[in-house]
Amino acid sequence: MRSASLLAVVLSLGASLVAAQIPPAEVFRTDFNSSFKFTASQIKAAQLDDTTVESAQNIINFDRSQLAFGGPLEDDFYTLPPLANETGPLKPGQILKVQPFTDPTAFTIPSDTALSRIIYTTTNFNGTVIPASGFILWPYTPRKFDNSDKEKASVVIWTHGTSGFFATQAPSAHRGLWYANSAPFTLAQAGYAVFAPDYAGLGISTSWDGSEIPH
């Protein structure tokens, strides 16, 4: 019994010493390219305490600072071109807009690559034709195979994993194309031209008639 009590005292003392050496947790800070803050009414409505407010604002500002050119809500590239006068409905697979030389200064792509972005037509689960965006990451030196066309680069269509559910979470709008060295950078540096669709609702979130494009 005495040994058990002694053990409890020792463990309690040890825990106290460890706790004394660990400083209280603080919100990590850095200079984000965003200055989002909740309004007083938002804080009151959600009943947020000061710690939660600071943490949430920090997360949002970090996330927004990862967007190139402010993301789809600010970048003119994501503005849909007007529909041309056509005799019939749009078909999936049509190119609507091409940005052949995307300014790399807002991105963190490797120096031996180049970036293009496109808007094209695809279909949703109901078969409705909708606009969607994507990017092409070009290699400096294309990979060649014995039977490949010497004038063309080998292409990889890369479909990304989960990035989010809203327009601003499109890989083509992200400074590191969201997955960076885990896929697109590595493939391009290996000599492949990488085409990556953003998916429906990411990047382009509304159609020409203003209807929402869900992801």
* pLDDT per residue as tens digits for the range 61-80: 777 788 999 999 999 999 99
How confident is the model over 182-190, as a mean pLDDT? 94
149 and 114 in a common domain:
yes
pLDDT range class, residue 12, cuts 50, 70, 90: low
56 and 115 in a common domain:
no
CA distance 214 to 200: 7
Sign of CA dihedral 131, 132, 137, 142: negative
Spatial contact of 97 and 83, defined as CB atoms under 8 Å apart: no
Residue 37 resides in a domain? yes
Residue 179 resides in a domain? yes
How confident is the model over 205-212, as a mean pLDDT? 91
160 and 87 in a common domain:
yes
187 and 88 in a common domain:
yes
49 and 149 in a common domain:
no
Residue 2 resides in a domain? no
161 and 85 in a common domain:
yes
Structure tokens at 48: 């947020």
184 and 90 in a common domain:
yes
Q: Among residues 49, 30, 22, which one has the least CA distance to residue 38?
A: 49
How confident is the model over 19-40, as a mean pLDDT? 66
Q: pLDDT at position 47, please?
A: 92
pLDDT surpasses 90 at 191 = yes
Q: Tell me, what DSSP letter sits at residue 97? A: E
Q: pLDDT at position 75, please?
A: 95
Residue 11 resides in a domain? no
CA distance 186 to 55: 33
Sign of CA dihedral 38, 164, 123, 127: negative
Number of domains in the chain: 2
Residue 114 resides in a domain? yes
Strand, coil or helix: 17: helix
Going from the C-alpha of 113 to that of each of 67, 101, 149, 184, 190, the distances in angstroms are: 19, 11, 20, 10, 11
179 and 164 in a common domain:
yes
Residue 170 resides in a domain? yes
Residue 173 resides in a domain? yes
145 and 51 in a common domain:
no
Residue 167 resides in a domain? yes
Range of the domain at 129: 71-197
Q: pLDDT at position 19, please?
A: 56
Q: pLDDT at position 84, please?
A: 72
57/106: higher pLDDT: 106
121 and 90 in a common domain:
yes
143 and 89 in a common domain:
yes
99 and 49 in a common domain:
no
